Amino acid sequence: AQKITQTQPGMFVQEKEAVTLDCTYDTSDPSYGLFWYKQPSSGEMIFLIYQGSYDQQNATEGRYSLNFQKARKSANLVISASQLGDSAMYFCAMRELIQGAQKLVFGQGTRLTINP
Amino acid sequence: EADIYQTPRYLVIGTGKKITLECSQTMGHDKMYWYQQDPGMELHLIHYSYGVNSTEKGDLSSESTVSRIRTEHFPLTLESARPSHTSQYLCASSDPDRLGPLATNEKLFFGSGTQLSVL
C-alpha cells in the first residue's frame, strides 16, 4: 500500500499566484512526522518544512505553509506569492517508526512550473 | 547550510565495470543514507547506517554494497555495473542523537546526487 500519495504529477501556475500541492498519507502509528522537500533541476533535495503529528498548529516557514488535516490524513503544501524560482519537483515525505527504525518514505512527487 | 558532498556528479561507464560513488559529510552526523531515484520518480531507500561499522539494507533491494569505516564517509559500490543500474543516487545524513530515539522531526541533509548511466 502506498504510504505517501501525491495525486498531481504536474502543476502550472502563474507567477505571484498561490499554489497548493496535495499530499495524503497512510499510517497507523500515532507518532509521525511529515516533510516537504524541493528538488530543482540540478538534482539536490532541499528541505522546506516539517509538521509533527502532535503539533497543534500548522507549520509555516516564510512563503511555505503546511495545511495539516490530521483526521483526513492530508498535509498539503501551500506556497504563497509564487516565484519563477519555485519551479521544481516537490516531494512529500513521512517519517515513521518501522520495525524499530525511523524511516523516511517519499511520495511520487509533483512537478511545479511557474509561468511568467 | 548542509555540508554533504557527493562525487562524481555525473558518471557514464560501460557494463561490467566496478564503480564506487563517494559521499562525505563534515557535520559529524551518525546516520547516513543512500537513496535511488529514477527520473521524475520518488526516492527509494537502498542503504542506511547508524554509525561506524553499521550498515543496513533499505526498502528497495539493490545489488550495491556500502561501508562505514569512518563517520564522515559512506561510499556505495557496484561490483559489476549493468544498464539497469542507471539512475540518480542521492546520499543524505542526519543527526538524531540530540533529538532522542523516537523523534520524528529528524531532518535529512542531502548531497547533490550522482547521475549514473551504464551503457
pLDDT of residue B62: 86
Q: What is the 3-state secondary structure (H, E, C) of chain B?
A: CCCEEEECCEEEECCCCCEEEEEEECCCCCEEEEEEECCCCCEEEEEEECCCCCCEECCCCCCCEECCCECCECCEEECCCCHHHCEEEEEEEECCHHHCCCCCCCCCEECCCEEEEEC
Chain B closest-CA separation from residue A81 CA (Å): 24
Q: Are B45 and A103 a contacting pair at CB < 8 A?
A: yes
Q: Which residue of B has its CA nearest to A108?
A: B42
pLDDT of residue B14: 95
Closest by Cβ to B105, choosing from A4, A50, A107: A50
Mean pLDDT of chain A: 91
pLDDT of residue A101: 66
Ramachandran region, residue B51 (left: φ > 0; alpha: ψ -120 to 50; beta: rest): left
A25–B contact, CB cutoff 8 A:
no
pLDDT at B100 > cutoff 60: no
Measured in whole angstroms, the distance separating CA A75 from the mean position of its chain's CA atoms is 7
> What residues 50-109 of chain B have any CB closer than 8 A to a CB of chain A?
56, 59, 88, 90, 92, 96, 101-109
Q: Are B104 and A32 a contacting pair at CB < 8 A?
A: yes
- In terms of Cα–Cα distance, which of A67, A81, A62 is closest to A19? A81
Q: Which residue of A has its CA nearest to B87?
A: A43
For the segment A51-91, what is each residue's pLDDT rounded down to a tens digit? 988 888 999 999 999 999 999 999 999 999 999 999 999 99
pLDDT of residue A104: 84
Closest by Cβ to B104, choosing from A33, A91, A108: A33
- In terms of Cα–Cα distance, which of A108, A70, A114, A65 is closest to A90? A108
pLDDT of residue A56: 86
Q: Kindly indicate the confidence band of residue B104, based on its pLDDT and cuts at 50, 70 and 90.
A: low
For residues A104 and B33, the model is more confident at B33
pLDDT of residue B49: 92
Q: Are B42 and A106 a contacting pair at CB < 8 A?
A: yes
Sign of CA dihedral B74, B54, B1, B108: positive
pLDDT of residue B2: 60
Q: Are A111 and B40 a contacting pair at CB < 8 A?
A: yes
Residue B10, amino acid: Y
**DSSP 3-state assignment of A86?**
helix
pLDDT at B50 > cutoff 80: yes
A41–B contact, CB cutoff 8 A:
no
Interface test with B, best of A45, A50, A66, A105 (most B CBs within 10 A): A45
Q: Are B104 and A111 a contacting pair at CB < 8 A?
A: no
CA B47, B18, B56 angle in degrees (round to 5)?
A: 15
pLDDT of residue B113: 94
Q: What is the mean pLDDT of residues A16-37?
A: 93
- In terms of Cα–Cα distance, which of A92, A11, A80, A86 is closest to A51? A92
